[in-house]
């Protein structure tokens, strides 16, 4: 898991869990790749993706674009869990380190808020490859998410 003691946050929207899950259910990209929400806590979201051959690159590893999309979504939903009801979230930047090939039975992506501001939210994330009883961190991400307001078509 992500090193250190995670910060504790109080969500601004008491219905954060329902809101995050409803938004995730509408996200077609995550549906397409078969990801699902495992856990939603204030400032932390865990997603899971079963390993699928049709999502691999030429060497049989889960494609880096799929891995990145998964952890980006985990970070984005971690940020959304702390935003007020009138805000939506968009990624504005991220840095990814691919530490090892993404191969295993399934991938777990954990997104965690490090600093939550009114407009910008800094997150960290990781993807863990799970193979039987073995787990290995294969990807780490640092991301900045932005609260978007006054755009009713984006608000969940």
Determine the Cα–Cα distance for residues 87 and 126; give it in Å rounded to an integer.
25
Closest CA to 12 of 42, 32, 44, 35: 42
* pLDDT of residue 2 exceeding 60: no
Residues 6+ apart with CB under 8 A from 100: 129, 136, 137, 138
* 153 lies in some domain: no
Domain count of the fold of the chain: 1
* 28 lies in some domain: yes
In sequence order, the β-bridge partners of residue 96 are: 141
pLDDT tens digits, residue range 77-123?
999 999 999 899 999 999 999 999 999 999 999 999 999 999 999 99
Domain range enclosing 120:
16-148
pLDDT of amino acid 7: 79
DSSP E strands, the chain: 36-41, 44-50, 88-98, 106-116, 120-131, 134-148
* 106 lies in some domain: yes
* pLDDT of residue 127 exceeding 90: yes
Is this prediction's pTM over 0.85? Answer: yes
Q: Which residue carries 């979504």 as its tokens? A: 73
* 139 lies in some domain: yes
Q: How confident is the model at residue 1 (pLDDT cuts 50, 70, 90)?
A: very low
pLDDT tens digits, residue range 53-74?
999 999 999 999 999 999 999 9
* 2 lies in some domain: no
Rounded to 10 degrees, the C-alpha dihedral 126/20/14/9 comes to 10
pLDDT tens digits, residue range 25-60?
999 999 999 999 999 999 999 999 999 999 999 999
* 34 lies in some domain: yes
CA distances from 33 to 15, 70, 139, 145 (A): 27, 9, 18, 22
* 125 lies in some domain: yes
Contact 44, 110 (CB under 8 A): yes
* 140 lies in some domain: yes
CATH number, position 28: 3.10.129.10
């Amino acid at each position: 898991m992500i090193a250190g003691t995670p910060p504790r946050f109080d969500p601004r929207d008491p219905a954060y869990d329902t809101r995050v899950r409803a938004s995730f259910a509408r996200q077609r990209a995550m549906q397409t790749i078969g990801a699902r929400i495992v856990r939603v806590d204030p400032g932390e979201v865990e997603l899971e993706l079963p390993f699928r051959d049709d999502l691999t690159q030429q060497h049989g590893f889960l494609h880096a674009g799929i891995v990145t999309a998964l952890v980006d979504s985990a970070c984005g939903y971690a940020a959304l869990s702390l935003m007020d009801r009138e805000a939506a979230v968009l990624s504005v930047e991220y840095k990814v380190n691919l530490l090892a090939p993404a191969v295993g039975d399934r991938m777990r992506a954990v997104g965690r808020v490090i600093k939550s501001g009114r407009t910008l939210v800094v997150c960290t994330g990781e993807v863990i490859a799970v193979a039987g009883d073995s787990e290995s961190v294969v990807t780490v991400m640092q991301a900045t998410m932005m609260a978007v307001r006054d755009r009713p078509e984006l608000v969940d």
